[in-house]
A = this chain, B = another copy of it.
Amino acid sequence: MAKKRNIIVGQSGGPTSVINSSLAGVYKTAKERGFHKVYGMLHGIQGLLDEKYVDLSTQIHNDMDVELLKRTPSAFLGSCRYKLPEIHENPEIYDTIFKILDKLSIDAFIYIGGNDSMDTIKKLSDYAIIKGHSQKFLGVPKTIDNDLALTDHTPGFGSAAKYIATSTKEVIRDALGLTYNKEMITVIEVMGRNAGWLTGATALARTEECDGPDLIYLPEVAFDIDKFEKKVRELLKKKISIVIAVSEGIKLADGRYVCELSGGADYVDAFGHKQLQGTAAYLASFLGAEIGCKTRSIEFSTLQRSASHMASRVDVDEAFMVGGAAVKAADEGDTGKMVVIDRVSDDPYMSAAGIYDVHRIANNEKLVPRSWMNKEGNYVTDEFINYIEPLIRGDYQPFMVNGLPQHLVLRTK
């Protein structure tokens, strides 16, 4: 009788609408490939260190549950932000992890997350090779920010982009309905930290029946507040309702974040992270004071990463695909690798799972190329739009119960 092989999967970093679709892909593929038990770490490697995990067959009972999981936002297993120390700094922690993996007869370890998670995969696979452990370690990318290198785009990005573009269309319509003979300026703030991918996605709102935003400012180009005001004044001569999309991370030429200019408020959270919030509010209030017209600011906030009710079918399917591909790779003997999405064709859009050595993943952010923005730095180009457009296509209708989307949630007791 063949040895029973088990697999363990964890989720890490900021949530997305489709991080659970990758989990579903891992689960389904592991079952199809004959893995015996599929364990889920609770709150990633941090929970695993506390021996917190579940047998996923106690959570996912049938294909209906798999489909529900694909429609559930945020990390089903719980997430963490935990960076493993270097091996030489603290070998004990590695011993602890491998003892737990041995105890559970783990053959493959899959980690769904961002750059930090790929660092975890790298360290664990290095350690296994050094110490002669047989487990395979594979990474599955996710982030709404789309700032990971090597992959054409990241799972989670397409759904966030779809939600952002949809909401932008609705906000533009709202503004048009309200403005008759008095100007109004709306400033929308979008996530993405130092990468402008999500803010650029507001350009998708430019459709047959919608002008889209009038100006788009990404953090990749230094923000000049005088030029900004001049541009807005120029537009107000032609249009009564102006809608502007700005990234939370736009910075002045001197390196200060625009959201820091408001002063007063404390923009550092309990962990000492600088909170990028208030950019739109600051700019709306600035324009209101300078120009003397009605302004308003809208933050899409965390809704943009958890609005699975507006997920992209392409994104959900790709997230599922990369989860499954990681299991396949581990099953075939790969380790220390990250699964990526390769774009096979633009029209019709086709993609496939590729695979990269995690040692090749540099820890730097993939930013929007300068050439994908216009010369003035206040809009994205057609190349940007052509790149992003296929990623928001198609829907996964939520399963509605009593008028609300139903989610699959962890049952422990």
Q: Interface size (A, Cβ < 8 Å)? A: 79
Q: A392 and B404: CB pair below 8 A?
A: yes
Specify which of B74, B166, B178 is in contact with A405 (CB 8 Å cutoff): B166
Q: Mark A278-318, 1 if CB is under 8 A from B, else 0.
A: 00000001001100111110111111011111101000000
Q: Mark A151-177, 1 if CB is under 8 A from B, else 0.
A: 000000000001001110111011011
Residues of chain B with a CB closer than 8 A to A403's CB: 162, 165, 204, 312, 389, 392-394
Tell me the complex Cα distance, A178–B208, Å. Answer: 39
A47-B180, A79-B177, A178-B79 known; A402+B207 contact, CB < 8 A: yes
Q: B180 and A405: CB pair below 8 A?
A: no
Tell me the complex Cα distance, A182–B46, Å. Answer: 12
Q: A210 and B409: CB pair below 8 A?
A: yes
Q: B309 and A170: CB pair below 8 A?
A: yes
Q: B266 and A285: CB pair below 8 A?
A: yes
Q: In residues 68-86 of chain A, which contact B (Cβ within 8 Å)?
A: 72-76, 78-80
A169-B407, A173-B407, A407-B169 known; A178+B402 contact, CB < 8 A: no
A205 is an interface residue with CB less than 8 A from chain B: yes
A302-B171, A393-B403 known; A269+B294 contact, CB < 8 A: yes
Tell me the complex Cα distance, A178–B269, Å. Answer: 15
A309-B166, A404-B165, A408-B209 known; A173+B72 contact, CB < 8 A: yes
A389-B402, A409-B210 known; A303+B171 contact, CB < 8 A: yes
Q: B15 and A177: CB pair below 8 A?
A: yes
Q: A74 and B177: CB pair below 8 A?
A: yes
A253 is an interface residue with CB less than 8 A from chain B: no
Copies of the chain in the assembly: 2
Residues of chain B with a CB closer than 8 A to A210's CB: 407, 409
Nearest neighbor of A68 in chain B, beta-carbon distance: B209
Nearest neighbor of A176 in chain B, beta-carbon distance: B74
Tell me the complex Cα distance, A391–B400, Å. Answer: 14
Nearest neighbor of A408 in chain B, beta-carbon distance: B209
Residues of chain B with a CB closer than 8 A to A395's CB: 400
Nearest CB in chain B: distance from A332 CB, A: 31
Q: B174 and A305: CB pair below 8 A?
A: yes
Nearest neighbor of A298 in chain B, beta-carbon distance: B301
Q: In residues 382-405 of chain A, which contact B (Cβ within 8 Å)?
A: 389, 392-395, 397, 400-405
Nearest neighbor of A293 in chain B, beta-carbon distance: B270
Residues of chain B with a CB closer than 8 A to A270's CB: 182, 288, 292-295
A43 is an interface residue with CB less than 8 A from chain B: yes
Q: A307 and B170: CB pair below 8 A?
A: yes
Q: Mark A196-214, 1 if CB is under 8 A from B, else 0.
A: 0000000011011110000
Q: A264 and B266: CB pair below 8 A?
A: no
Specify which of B78, B180, B208 is in contact with A176 (CB 8 Å cutoff): B78
- Contacts A15-B177, A75-B178 known; 9 new A-B pairs at CB < 8 A: A14-B178, A15-B174, A166-B404, A170-B308, A174-B305, A210-B407, A265-B285, A296-B302, A298-B302
The 3 closest A-B pairs by CB, nearest first: A74-B177, A75-B177, A392-B403
Which A residues have a C-beta under 8 Å from some C-beta of B?
Answer: 11, 14-15, 43, 46-47, 72-76, 78-80, 162, 165-167, 169-171, 173-174, 176-182, 204-205, 207-210, 264-266, 269-271, 285, 288-289, 292-296, 298-303, 305-310, 312, 389, 392-395, 397, 400-409
